[in-house]
């Protein structure tokens, strides 16, 4: 993290709690506090010195960036949840992995290397 800090939604996502978009919904719902103040919007920059709570619990330190690779076979979609109920690459990843995000996509009928952060 740089000396200037980072946006609160990104900080929550880097801590592995949720996506940035989900963090914004948590903020709107009043679930996120910074230094004792409940946030009303996501336009807040935080630093390592700030105390951040979600639902009253401290937010863990962000993990270092790690990289995983996965050979996607045909027949899987590259999305976390598919509204059509098709199998996803996320369902096939090892259960012990932390929350990961795919870099890029391959379509249903393609196979090849996917990278996850």
pLDDT tens per residue across span 28-77: 999 999 999 999 999 999 999 999 999 999 999 887 888 999 999 999 99
Pair (52, 77) in one structural domain: no
Greatest Cα pair distance in the chain: 50
Pair (73, 53) in one structural domain: no
Give CA–CA dist 25/30, Å, rounded.
Answer: 9
Q: Which domain holds residue 99?
A: 65-117
Pair (26, 49) in one structural domain: yes
Give CA–CA dist 101/117, Å, rounded.
Answer: 5
50 tagged catalytic: no
State the catalytic residue, choosing from 50, 55, 82, 107: 107
Q: Looking at residue 13, which CATH number applies to its domain?
A: 3.10.290.10
Model confidence at 1, in pLDDT bands (50, 70, 90)?
very low
């Amino acid at each position: 993290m740089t000396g200037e800090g980072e946006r609160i939604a990104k900080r929550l996502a880097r801590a592995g709690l949720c996506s940035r978009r989900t963090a914004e919904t948590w903020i709107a719902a009043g679930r996120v506090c910074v230094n004792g103040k409940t946030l009303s919007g996501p336009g807040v920059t935080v630093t390592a010195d700030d105390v951040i709570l979600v639902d009253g619990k401290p937010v863990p330190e962000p993990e270092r960036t790690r990289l995983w690779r996965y050979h996607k076979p045909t027949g899987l979609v590259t999305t976390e949840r598919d509204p059509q109920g098709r199998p996803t690459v996320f369902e096939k990843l090892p259960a012990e992995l932390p929350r990961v995000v795919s870099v890029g996509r391959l379509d249903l009928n393609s196979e090849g290397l996917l990278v996850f952060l």
